[in-house]
């Protein structure tokens, strides 16, 4: 019996969502009175022993160039093998793009109940009940996993990264790796930008900005906050911004610490994607905009006037 | 080329979310039902586009649900698709549903299985991956582009802060996200044609669910907005810094 955490890496670097999953898995292991171990696939460029500070005692590393890109089928087989040999009874994934590809496959392979999008530690006082978001963040559900092996995919920004003392033992794990059926031919990454799903601060704008040429001030504000940029659906549909910036019910659901909405009225579908944000600031010239009802702080005013001033004020405080 | 598109029935995006039976059941009174937007706008429309390019392509639809799911599957047939299957079962959990779809998919020997990236009610994003594992097919999730060249697919998926493009030989399971296709409105000819398209009902295969919902709840309401005058952004920054500790 142990808790096994899948440590997702990109270009050799451990993702922030993985640190959250490690912290969550370590806490869960403590709750269950067992140990937490991690599994890393591919070619990491970081010192894996240092992951011990997030609470794991051991890292199983499967090194094979075939695992440098995600092929969910290969990853599933390898993780199933590691889970089997370590006797893992709970397997934790980050519920990011890669986690969403692998965790369901592993669930079907091991006949292990899966909760994807968990937002809290399980209640293990009577069974094994995990809280997750449903109805695109408009509600939550408590769901019981009834199988001996359990899989949890943890939502990004739902559990804080906790660091302590400690070094993990790194053990090479020899797994049978088939040749990949998915051949990655290219990947593009907007360099220097903060990925939307991992961002702690998100600056988002809507139709109130009138046109794509006015996004400079949004990007300026995002820059001083080290924030990711996002947009509402009409903006993405009009191709003012790329579709991967669209947050809302039919776009990406996010849960940053701070969400600043500029010129977005706050339709129910938009709110569904952002209402898990810890603090919401709304800037809109229409005092009747429904978004104000869902906000913590608001300014009724013209974005073109308010946003540059806000950028300056934040620059001062950050200096 | 044979394509299977998975269709789910979900509450309309503006539906009021409430629960009954001591918070154990979704309150369906007054709820309008729609095709899950990801299934409709992206998975189904992309499949129809592939059929429009190559008329020999066969598009089948599958849904798992009671007779009340039929208006939804007829609406999906009005957009396109040759015939539909309904597995006559209540939704249990993702694994139960995926097992039903995999059983239909196995029988039909499909080259391609499309799902939406998630349903807007359960938000599990699990069906595609589970079906792929049960069929032993490769799986690409969150696809924003899908191109077909013979028996090879070129698929672009979202990754953190970017995109990744991969090639894979068919068969493959793909979950569709924004970018795959554009929403369409069914026309009158499609609606008329859908009435007579075959809709085959089958009984579920015996499978144990792996999870069960114990209760639902609503997030606590916000305390109310604190408004700051537009000419005093310094005050907003102070509140965010000192009170909300968000800066």
Number of residues in chain B: 247
Q: How confident is the model at residue B223 (pLDDT cuts 50, 70, 90)?
A: confident
- Evaluate whether residue B232 is within a structural domain: no
* Interchain pair B216, A140: CB under 8 A: yes
Question: Is residue A187 one of the residues assigned to a domain?
Answer: no
Structural domain includes residue B131: yes
B172/B139 Cα distance (integer angstroms):
6
Nearest-CA distance from A13 to chain B in Å?
13
Give the closest-approach CA distance of B131 to chain A in angstroms: 8
Question: Is there a single domain that holds both residue A119 and residue A220?
Answer: no
Identify whether residues A29 and A139 lie together within a single domain. Answer: yes
CATH, residue A251 = 3.40.50.1220
- In this prediction, what percent of chain B has a pLDDT beyond 90? 92
Number of domains observed in the structure of chain A: 2
Q: Answer yes or no: do A132 and A235 share one domain.
A: no
Same domain, yes or no, for A19 and A164?
Answer: yes
Q: Which residues pair with A259 in a beta bridge?
A: A202, A280
- B171 confidence band (pLDDT: 50, 70, 90): very high
Domains held by chain B: number: 1
* Domain match, A93 and A216 both: no
Any domain includes A216: yes
For the domain that residue B184 is a member of, what is the CATH number? 3.40.50.620
Which chain A residues are within 8 Å of B141, Cβ to Cβ? 72, 97, 100-101
Question: Which is it for strands B9-11 and B33-35: parallel, antiparallel or unpaired?
Answer: antiparallel
Structural domain boundaries enclosing B11: 2-219
**Is position A263 within any domain?**
yes
Distance (Å, whole) CA A194 – CA A313: 22
Residues A168, A98 within the same domain: yes
The answer on A104 and A211 residing in a single domain is no
ipTM of the complex: 0.95
Which residues 24-63 of A are in CB contact (within 8 Å) with B? none
For every one of its 319 residues, what pLDDT tens digit does chain A have, with 9 covering 90 and above? 899 999 999 989 999 999 999 999 999 999 999 999 999 999 999 999 999 999 999 999 999 999 999 999 999 999 999 999 999 999 999 999 999 999 999 999 999 999 999 999 999 999 999 999 999 888 999 999 999 999 999 999 999 999 999 999 999 999 999 999 999 999 987 655 678 888 999 999 999 999 999 999 999 999 999 999 999 999 999 999 988 899 998 888 899 999 999 999 999 999 989 988 999 999 999 999 999 999 999 999 999 999 999 999 999 998 8
Residues A150, A269: one domain?
A: no
What region, left, alpha or beta, does residue B42 occupy, with left being phi > 0 and alpha being psi -120 to 50 degrees? alpha
| Same structural domain, A257 and A156 | no
Regarding whether A160 and A21 lie in a shared domain, the answer is yes
* In-domain check, residue B242: no
Q: Do B216 and A103 make contact, defined as CB atoms within 8 angstroms?
A: no
Per-residue confidence (pLDDT) for residue A136, from 0 to 100 = 86
Is B126 in Cβ contact with A249 (below 8 Å)? no
* Cβ pairs bridging A and B (under 8 Å): 280
Q: Phi and psi at residue A166, in whole multiples of 5°?
A: 135, 150
> Do A223 and A119 sit in the same domain of this protein?
no
Report how far apart, in Å, the C-alpha atoms of A241 and of each of A137, A213, A218, A219, B31 are.
24, 10, 12, 12, 33
Position B199 scores a pLDDT of 98
Question: pLDDT class for B75, splitting at 50, 70, 90?
Answer: very high
Instruction: Write the CATH number for A154.
Output: 3.40.50.620
Task: Give the residue numbers spanning the domain of A79.
Answer: 2-172
Q: Which of A133, A258, A306 sits opposite B230 (nearest CB)?
A: A306
Residues A141 and A285 in one domain: no
């Amino acid at each position: 019996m142990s808790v096994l955490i899948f440590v997702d890496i990109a270009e050799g670097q451990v993702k922030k969502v993985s640190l959250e999953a490690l912290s969550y898995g370590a806490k869960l292991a403590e709750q269950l009175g067992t140990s937490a171990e991690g599994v890393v696939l591919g070619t990491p460029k970081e010192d894996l022993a240092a992951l011990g500070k997030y609470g794991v005692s051991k890292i199983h590393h499967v090194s094979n160039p075939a695992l440098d890109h995600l092929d969910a089928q290969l990853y599933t087989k390898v993780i199933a093998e590691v889970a089997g040999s370590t006797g893992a009874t709970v397997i934790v994934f980050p519920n990011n793009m890669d986690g969403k590809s692998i965790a369901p496959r592993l669930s079907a392979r091991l006949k292990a109940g899966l909760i994807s999008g968990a937002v809290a530690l399980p209640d293990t006082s009577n069974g094994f009940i995990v809280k997750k978001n449903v109805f695109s963040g408009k509600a939550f559900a408590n769901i019981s996993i009834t199988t001996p092996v359990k899989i949890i995919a943890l939502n990004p920004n739902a559990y804080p990264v906790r660091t302590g003392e400690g070094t993990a033992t790194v053990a090479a794990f020899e797994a049978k790796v088939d040749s990949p059926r998915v051949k990655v031919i290219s990947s593009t990454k907007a360099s220097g930008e903060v990925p939307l799903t991992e961002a702690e601060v998100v600056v988002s704008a809507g139709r109130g900005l009138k046109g794509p040429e006015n996004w400079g001030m949004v990007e300026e504000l995002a820059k001083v906050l080290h924030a990711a940029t996002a947009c509402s659906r009409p903006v993405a549909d009009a191709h003012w911004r790329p579709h991967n910036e669209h947050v809302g019910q039919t776009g990406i659901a996010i849960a940053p610490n701070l969400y600043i909405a500029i010129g977005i009225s706050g339709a129910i579908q938009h709110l569904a994607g952002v209402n898990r944000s810890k603090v919401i600031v709304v800037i809109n010239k229409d005092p009747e905009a429904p978004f104000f009802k869902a906000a913590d702080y608001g300014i009724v005013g013209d974005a073109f006037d308010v946003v540059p001033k806000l950028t300056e004020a934040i620059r001062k405080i950050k200096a | 080329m044979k394509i299977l598109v998975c269709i789910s029935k979900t509450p309309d995006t503006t539906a009021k979310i409430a629960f009954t039976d001591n918070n154990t059941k979704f309150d369906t009174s007054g709820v309008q039902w729609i095709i899950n937007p990801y299934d409709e706008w992206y998975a189904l429309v992309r499949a129809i586009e592939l059929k429009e390019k190559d008329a020999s392509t066969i598009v089948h639809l599958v849904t798992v649900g009671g007779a009340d799911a039929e208006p939804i599957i007829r609406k999906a047939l009005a957009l396109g698709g040759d015939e539909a299957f309904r597995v006559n079962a209540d939704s249990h959990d993702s694994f139960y549903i995926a097992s039903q779809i995999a059983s239909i998919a196995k029988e039909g020997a499909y080259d391609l299985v499309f799902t939406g990236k998630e349903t807007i009610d359960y938000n599990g994003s699990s069906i595609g991956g589970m079906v792929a594992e049960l069929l032993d097919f490769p799986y690409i999730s969150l696809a924003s582009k899908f191109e077909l060249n013979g028996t090879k697919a070129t698929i672009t998926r979202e990754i953190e802060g970017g995109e990744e493009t991969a090639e894979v030989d068919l068969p493959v399971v793909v979950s569709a996200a924004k970018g795959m296709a554009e929403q369409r409105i069914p026309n009158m000819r499609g609606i008329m044609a859908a009435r007579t398209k075959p809709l085959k009902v089958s009984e579920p295969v015996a499978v144990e669910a792996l999870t069960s919902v114990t209760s639902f709840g609503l997030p606590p309401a916000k305390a109310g907005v604190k408004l700051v005058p537009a000419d005093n952004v310094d005050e907003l920054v102070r509140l965010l810094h000192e009170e909300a500790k968000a800066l």
